[in-house]
Amino acid sequence: MIDFDLHAPTTIEFGVGLDTEDDPLFVLLPADEDVAEALIDMVRTTVQQLEEESEPRPYEPSEK
């Protein structure tokens, strides 16, 4: 499991990738407070579900 402190993260970044004809481009963008809070909430929910369920549910792109 990834060593991630859900209670006191120090840096939250959002990765954006783009396939181009020449080379793939990947950029890390700092997240503002609202985005960081939403990302932390998603990680907490994911960890909770993994701990509670014996078999993971299929990924749904429409989920938060």
Predicted confidence (pLDDT) at residue 4 exceeds the cutoff of 80: no
Q: What residues contact residue 57 under an 8 Å CB cut-off, 6+ apart? A: 49
pLDDT higher at 13 or 56: 13
Predicted confidence (pLDDT) at residue 2 exceeds the cutoff of 70: no
CB 36 within 8 A of CB 9: yes
Kindly report the pTM of this predicted structure.
Answer: 0.54
Predicted confidence (pLDDT) at residue 49 exceeds the cutoff of 60: yes
pLDDT digits (tens, 9 = 90+) for 12-42: 887 888 888 888 889 888 888 888 888 888 8
